[in-house]
Amino acid sequence: MNCYHPILIAASLLCSAAAVRGAVTPDPAVLKAEDERAEAIAKASAATVAVFDGSGGGGGSGVLISPDGFAVTNFHVTAPCGAAMKCGLNDGKLYDAVIVGIDPVGDVALIQLLGRDDFPVAEIGDSDQVRVGDWCFAAGNPFLLADDFTPSISYGLVSGTHRYQYPAGTLLEYTDCIQTDAAINPGNSGGPLFDAKGRLIGINGRGSFEKRGRVNVGVGYAISVNQVMRFVPMLKSGRIVDHATLGATVSTDKGSVVVDDILETSDAFRRGLQYGDSIVRFADREISTANALKNVLGVYPSGWRAPLTYRRNGQAFSTQVRLMGVHDEAELIELVQSEEEQPSGHPGDPQEKPKDEGPKLPIPQLEGLLKKKKMPPAVVQRYEARRGYANYWYNEQAQERLWTNYVDRSAIADLGYDWRVGGKVETGGVFQLVTSANRSELTLPSGHSGAIFNGDVAAQLSPPRSGGLLLAINAWQRFIDKGLHRFGEIYYLGKLPHGPDGTPEDCLVGYFEGMETRFFFAEDSGDLTGIELFSADDADPCELSFSDFKDIQGRRLPTRWLVQHGDGVFAELAIEQWDVGQAPSGPQDGAN
């Protein structure tokens, strides 16, 4: 007689019942989707950063964007940290990190984790392709719960795109952001928002909370990754970066966006925009409300260029506009200091923790840190304080890199001031340029011009309608001769659109005789690709774009110069002769 265990008998009966009803096998497509979701989250989690201020007072989240440790977070997360912070990854390790640059208006900060050059990074997505209804997930450190640095994950939908959030406090303004119902709570600030495939589409920053408990109610906002990545090359300058404005105020009137007022010093005014005009398109987007314009403006740094279409008396006009800053430098620094003194001035701030949430020193690795922070040696080596900068060390490094690459690549150290350059003008005829340290002269098919570089240099704007071509060439020569440290005040601006195709390129800004000169460099080759000389703040610059680099007497020099001023091309010159040590002879009065 066989004996059966009761549990085995029960299992057998259940199996028999299932067989009668028909066994349910999971759909392979469902299992595959589940595996893909888990893989995407695992990959994204590796690049998610837990940010702590190093003294147990608070923190937030961030996300790594490059193997050398650059990571993005919120300005309001880094503000109370100062120059140094501690950052943890889900490998269980804690890393020193240093502030690099800040965008206080857009609530973005760039930091660098130290100690490795092979950090895991997030795959960058395209936030312009995000649609309402797309699945997404947020990763981060809500309520500073990630005591082992493993991020919390919340899954949800994209519930809105191109949202505009009015400024909170004195600075922070969220434009063109992504709205999601994925839970974003205090501590998630600065952390990543990913799409379903694990691609970075935004940086979480603000949330709508109940008045009690600071608990998310399903409405959170992320700064679009396209905006963030446009600012990152500027933030690598170590500066305090400002956002852009047209230099005009607008209002919505009967379905049109009408200019109420405009600064006469703005580039938009010089490009023709006037009081009463209707703005139709900006940066390739239809504009139907004043907020829609604010939304698009907010994704650009000061100094960027963007296409603008406006209508007047039924006629449409299209142009490219150079955007100006929302604040002047002194005002921005003062406002930043105000925000840093009161870092929790808007919803979603991770510093404002519920009183009963978490210990003062939330993780064992931080227990040995002093309340009064002392910067770690690794941070000290990468930090230099200077007014107007988040970290001047990074600016200085960029200056030296660009200058060294240019000198080594082009072999221009002894090029001097005495040039004799000749060739053809693309529209027909020939030209001759002769320069020295004190004067220059240019002969074109349209006539002869000269300039003297003594006294009021800014007045030497010949040839007419060029914006000061001879002065721009002299600034180039001065830069080559004096170098970084004797040209005048010089700093690294970041990357701005330049040239006919508007490709963002590295830009050094130099000042001499009260004038601003911008020098642009190609990232891949290190070549000097252009110069912009501003003779005055309210004037169009003389713009030179260089191409067709060739070996000339052992130097790598551009043989095609495109000269632009305002809306038009002044001349395009093809260089056939370039002799060094040929100074102009005879009197030169500088007359046009």
User: Which residues are the active-site residues?
Assistant: 76, 107, 189
CA separation for the pair 469, 157 (Å, rounded): 54
Residue 122 Cα to chain centre, angstroms: 17
Cα diameter, the chain: 128
CA separation for the pair 205, 171 (Å, rounded): 14
CA separation for the pair 542, 482 (Å, rounded): 21
CA separation for the pair 105, 170 (Å, rounded): 9
Give the tokens for residue 368.
């040995």
> Do 592 and 566 contact (CB within 8 A), yes or no?
no
The enclosing H or E element of 575 equals strand 568-580
First to last CA, the chain: 121
Residue length, the chain? 592
Q: Look at strands 447-452 and 489-498 and give their pairing.
A: unpaired
Give the tokens for residue 571.
């001349």
CA separation for the pair 273, 61 (Å, rounded): 42
Closest CA to 435 of 485, 481, 499, 466: 481
CA separation for the pair 375, 110 (Å, rounded): 18
> Do 395 and 491 contact (CB within 8 A), yes or no?
yes
Give the tokens for residue 31.
């299992």
CA separation for the pair 366, 149 (Å, rounded): 12
> Do 551 and 530 contact (CB within 8 A), yes or no?
no
Handedness of CA 117, 123, 124, 127 (dihedral sign): negative
Q: Look at strands 135-140 and 192-195 and give their pairing.
A: antiparallel
> Do 33 and 159 contact (CB within 8 A), yes or no?
no
Give the tokens for residue 321.
């506009």
> Do 546 and 529 contact (CB within 8 A), yes or no?
yes
Phi and psi for 210 in degrees, rounded to 5? -65, 155
Closest CA to 81 of 103, 107, 52, 106: 52
> What are the helix (H) ranges across 198-289?
225-235, 267-270
